[in-house]
């Protein structure tokens, strides 16, 4: 995990700065800044359109009683694409725009789902109940000190018992 964070926060910005300097040297400062702003604007607009289409697909699948797992992962990838496109730089714009290509996004969705299926099948979980000790009188009297057998039409009888469970398969 440390290596991934190191790459994200140290190496990627250094690469972005190098690319911006080189493009700025070739095109000039103002055209480079204009390109970065335009790509962020167009990318955000495209992410919004695809995000709305994904949301509509989620609603359709849920209305049909299906689990919209592909659409949920696609929505997360679109969120990542939006963050990458709004981040200034050409490298992040490249990766953000690549996430907007439906074929690339579908391949990533399949990869993520395969990874999740592997992790779910290899993990183990079980069910256990943690018991608490209760006084026998807690079950024989309600909040008013009356016996529940004496309350024929009362909707609130006895006390609520809280418990916890942990799933272990």
* pLDDT score, position 17: 92
* pLDDT score, position 30: 94
3-state secondary structure the chain: CHHHHHHHHHHHHHHHHHHHHHHHHHHCHHHHHHHHHHHHHHHHHHHHHHHHHHHHHHHHHHHCCCCCHHHHHHHHHHHHHHHHHHCCCHHHHHHHHHHCCHHHHHHHHHHHHHHHHHHHHHCCCECEEECCCCCHHHHHCCCCCCCHHHCCCCCCCCCCCCCEEECEC
The mean per-residue pLDDT over the stretch 97-105 comes to: 89
**Residue 140 reports pLDDT greater than 60:** no
26 or 43, which is more confident: 26
Mean predicted lDDT score pLDDT of the chain: 78
């Amino acid at each position: 995990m440390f290596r991934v964070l190191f790459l994200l926060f140290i190496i990627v910005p250094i690469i972005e700065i190098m690319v911006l300097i080189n493009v700025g040297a070739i095109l000039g400062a103002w055209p480079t800044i204009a390109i970065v702003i335009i790509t962020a604007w167009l990318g955000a607009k495209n992410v919004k359109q695809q995000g709305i289409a994904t949301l509509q697909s989620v609603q359709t699948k849920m209305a049909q009683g299906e689990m919209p797992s592909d659409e949920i992962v696609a929505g997360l990838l679109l969120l990542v694409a939006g963050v990458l496109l709004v981040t200034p730089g050409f490298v992040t714009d490249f990766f953000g725009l690549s996430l907007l290509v439906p074929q690339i996004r579908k391949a990533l969705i399949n990869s993520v789902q395969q990874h999740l299926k592997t992790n779910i099948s290899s993990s183990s979980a079980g069910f256990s109940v943690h018991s608490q000790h209760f006084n026998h009188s807690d079950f024989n009297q309600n909040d008013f000190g009356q016996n529940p057998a004496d309350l024929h039409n009362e909707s609130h009888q006895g006390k609520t018992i809280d418990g916890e469970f942990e799933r272990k398969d």
